[in-house]
Amino acid sequence: MAGPCLLGAALGLAAAPAGAAERPVDPLAAPNDFLEAVANNMLDAVKADPLALQGDTGHIADLVRRYALPHVDMNKTTRLAAGRHWRQASAAQQEALVQAFTGTLIRTYSGAFTRVTSGTTITLLPFRGDPKADDAVVRTSISQPNSPPIGVDYRLERTDAGWKVYDLNVEGIWLIQNYRNQFAAEIGRSGIDGLIKALNAKQ
């Protein structure tokens, strides 16, 4: 899956590494303002970190955990990706699946962030939705030197704690829909426990 910044993730509240000017993040702000702050905080953290710029995926994974996960509703993302199978899982299986899927996405997006350079930029496109709605799509464009821009859209939900990202679209492919098909196939072969095992084996 292409395109870094969400969860691509985008996102975080921890102190940025030296050299990165962290933007204030307000989960209660307009969805595009919220996303712009968290996405650029994540990007700036990677740019300011020598190990990250050298492609150290383990180190990048730590940055993703610090900057992305606080702003992503992984419970909702996992539930929607599992579809009808979620209701068939026990509470323990649901928790294990959330943890396994979280690890999978951290690994996936850590790899995507290895393509970040000092020239990588994120541009927020005009917001087309209702900022007062409880669900919003924020569109962005990620640019790399000497490469065509990549469109990344984020789907956000307004929660009691403010906006949370729960899905994203990279060049026309929604994350949840993509994984829903994979989850269904694996569950059909080996059940919920088999899916959890398969996800953990890829980390």
pLDDT tens, position by position, 110-159 = 888 888 888 999 999 999 998 889 999 999 999 989 889 999 999 999 99
> CA-to-CA distance for 180 and 72, rounded, in angstroms?
18
pLDDT of residue 19: 45
The number of C-alpha atoms within 13 Å of 24 and in the hemisphere containing its C-beta is 3
Domains, the chain, in order of start with CATH, read: 6-201 (3.10.450.710)
DSSP 3-state assignment of 156?
Answer: strand
Whether 176 contacts 77, CB under 8 Å: yes
Q: What predicted TM-score, i.e. pTM, was given to this entire model?
A: 0.85
Locus of tokens 């995507």: 112
Task: Give residue 164's identity as a one-letter amino acid code.
Answer: K
pLDDT of residue 154: 96
pLDDT of residue 86: 98
Cα–Cα separations (whole angstroms), residue 162 to 22, 126, 156, 197: 19, 21, 10, 33
The number of C-alpha atoms within 13 Å of 195 and in the hemisphere containing its C-beta is 27
DSSP code of 70?
Answer: G
